[in-house]
Amino acid sequence: MRKSIATVSVSGTLTEKLAAIAAAGFDGVEIFENDLLVCPLPPEDIRAMAADLGLTIDLYQPFRDFEALPPPMLAAGLERAEHKFRLMERLGADLLLVCSNVSPLAVGDDALAAAHLRLLAERAAEHGVRIAYEALAWGRHVNEYLHAWRLVQMADHPNLGTCLDSFHILSRGSDPIGIEAIPGEKIFFLQLSDAPLLAMDVLQWSRHHRCFPGQGNFDVAGLVRHALNAGYAGPLSLEIFNDHFRQAGTGRIATDGMRSLVAVERELAGAAHPCVPTGFAFTELAATGELREVLGALGFARTGSHPSKPVELWWQGGARLLLNDTGGDAALIAIGLDSPDPGGAVKHAESLLSPVLPRERAPEEVPLDAVAAPDGTEIFFCDTAWLGDFGPGAPVPGQITGVDHVALTQPPHYFDEAALFYRSVLGLRPQESLELPDPYGLLRSKAMSTGSGVRMVLNIAQVGAGQTPWQHVALACTDLLAIARELRAAHPELLLPIPGNYYDDLEARHEVSPELRELGVLYDRDEHGEFLHLYTVTVGRVFFELVQRVGGYQGYGAGNAPIRLAVQHAGQPMMGG
């Protein structure tokens, strides 16, 4: 399928947008009128630039508030359209998107609307232009896609068809099955976007929160399937209005859009993810003396060393940490995932435009396949061979059984990119999304999981500048209170102090042991089970969480995160505050 994107979807000048869109591999563009109005180049030059980049101009948009105005206003509307048609001839575009009327002056009269659309199509035909009529979800009288289609049928002109836009259809909860009743050749254009489910005004939702397919909660691929079943043969075109995308890197967002369309095609082809990871092989940390002290207190010890790199294996139970002497601050730099097919996982990642990292290794060492996650963390796909590099060591006995989850802070404006990366490239499914109060802002958080073995939490801190983006590794154990007792006795300075107010509130809500308060252990429960957890102090950029899941508890104790954030900030006040 041909792939297109509206210029409004990415940041930059029109010249920058077109270059980035072509570089990302798109076949065509929708020129959004505002991008043309603010461009110093004449339409002929924009046309030549697109052609030089190998891009077709698939659509020009939007033309607004035309149909079903009181008859005396018709002539002015047609005059306005004539200007657009002449502009489109200069631009080399032959498809004009007309949005359903939002004007309070518009009349709720289908016959009038259809007559006007027919007149518009007749005029358009004189210029070799076709009209794609789209129902905006907030259109004054026409706001359902099947209503727009009825008007197109009534107007009955070969130069008039409909434009389907997944946002307008799915945001209203309309059933997209009706698309299959529209003849494919009358679907002149198909615009795709996704969105998170938000209870808000649909216009604001559309203008600020659209995202690429796979980043939100709509079944966009399902809608495309209906259009294909109807016989639609035009491009899949992304049309996103998003405050973050407008501020992010042009090329990076264009590439992410292409990734989302490749993932849609995969889904349509019924392709299951070829190699979902089954567990955490290791997490690699830039190490410092302080970090080693914390890990020693948690019962870890060095069990092996890499033959040629300054990397040690610290292994307790099923938790393997690689400590890398980078000379920098303590930080999480890589995650190793147990993969049923490491080579296939890298090929899959590459096909989804993820940057594959070069393998830097000595000849006798085990090759490792890795890609870069959106925040720069290296993701390795592993079988068990890598352990051989670290000699014959065995895990030290202890209370920690494995890695429960890893939490990463995403760079500003790339939260949606990260969600799509973990979903499409790694095969994790989205779980809960939350917004949590931070003393200096708001923490957006999204949990993702394979369902077994690998859990990730993606955070984005909407807080003042100058703050370190924290990461953390949550270690699983089977008796958290026992570990907490030992840590409190031997290393109380390594544990976050939890306010008494938290326990007053907790004890009012749940019957819990008074030991939680004494030990500074946090608690949560859901319909499946219970969750006990505690946090260490932060070293460099990283801290550790110890967690115990009782029963089938599914969450991450997110309700306790505001307590943690406040205590962490108290120990590390904002710069310049």
Chain residues binding ligand DHB by CB under 6 A are: 61-62, 97, 99, 134, 136, 165, 191, 206-207, 239
Q: For residues 445 and 466, what is the distance between their CA atoms, to the nearest angstrom?
A: 20
- Select the binding partner of residue 80 from Mg ion, ligand DHB, none (C-beta < 5 to 8 A, by kind): none
Q: One-letter amino acid identity for 187? A: I
Bridge partners for 283 per DSSP: 321, 335
Note whether 174 and 137 are within 8 A (CB). Answer: no
The response to whether 405 counts as a known ligand-binding position is yes
- Does 239 belong to an annotated binding site? yes
Indicate the residue among 240 and 494 with the shorter CB distance to Mg ion. Answer: 240
Q: Which residue lies nearer to Mg ion by CB, 191 or 316?
A: 191
Q: How far apart are CA 217 and CA 443, in angstroms?
A: 20
The nearer residue to ligand DHB, 136 or 506, going by C-beta atoms, is: 136
> Tokens 């020129």 belong to which residue?
31
**What residue is closest to Mg ion based on CB?**
165
Closest Cα partner for 425 from 357, 375, 354? Answer: 354
Minimum distance between the CB of residue 90 and ligand DHB, rounded to whole angstroms? Answer: 21
Q: Work out what residue 510 binds among Mg ion, ligand DHB, none; the CB cut-off runs from 5 to 8 Å by kind.
A: none
In the complex, the smallest distance separating the C-beta of residue 478 from ligand DHB, rounded to whole angstroms, is 52
Q: Which does 496 bind (CB under 5 to 8 A by kind): Mg ion, ligand DHB, none?
A: none
Give the residue among 99, 184, 80, 97 at the shortest CA–CA distance from 132. 97
Pairing of β 529-535 and β 522-525: antiparallel
Q: Taking CB under 5 A as the rule, which mask of x and - marks residues 206-245 in contact with Mg ion?
A: ---------------------------------x------
Q: Are strands 28-32 and 3-6 parallel, antiparallel or unpaired?
A: parallel
CA–CA distance, 555 with 486 (Å, rounded to integer): 26
Could you tell me if 406 and 474 are in contact, meaning their C-beta atoms sit under 8 angstroms apart?
Answer: yes
456/277 Cα distance (integer angstroms): 12
CB nearer to Mg ion: pick between 94 and 165: 165
Smallest distance, ligand DHB to C-beta of residue 313, A: 53
Partner whose binding site includes residue 450, from ligand DHB, Mg ion, none (CB under 5 to 8 Å by kind) = none
Q: Which residue's C-beta sits nearest to ligand DHB?
A: 62
Closest approach, Cβ 311 to ligand DHB, in A, equals 51
Residues 6 or more apart whose CB falls under 8 angstroms from that of 436 comprise: 442, 443, 445, 558, 561, 562, 565
Q: Which amino acid is at 28?
A: G
Q: Cβ–Cβ contacts within 10 Å for residue 272, how many?
A: 9
The least distance separating ligand DHB from the CB of residue 97, rounded to whole angstroms, comes to 6
- Residue from 100, 166, 174, 191 touching Mg ion (CB under 5 A): that is 191
Min dist CB 239 to ligand DHB, Å, is 6
Q: 3-state DSSP call for residue 437? A: strand
Interface with Mg ion (CB under 5 A), residue from 165, 256, 404, 438? 165
- Single-letter residue type at 426: L
Annotated binding site for a divalent metal cation: which residue ranges? 134, 165, 191, 239
Annotated binding site for Mg(2+): which residue ranges? 405, 472, 545
Residue numbers of the site for Mg ion (CB under 5 A)? 165, 191, 239
Annotated binding site: which residue ranges? 134, 165, 191, 239, 405, 472, 545
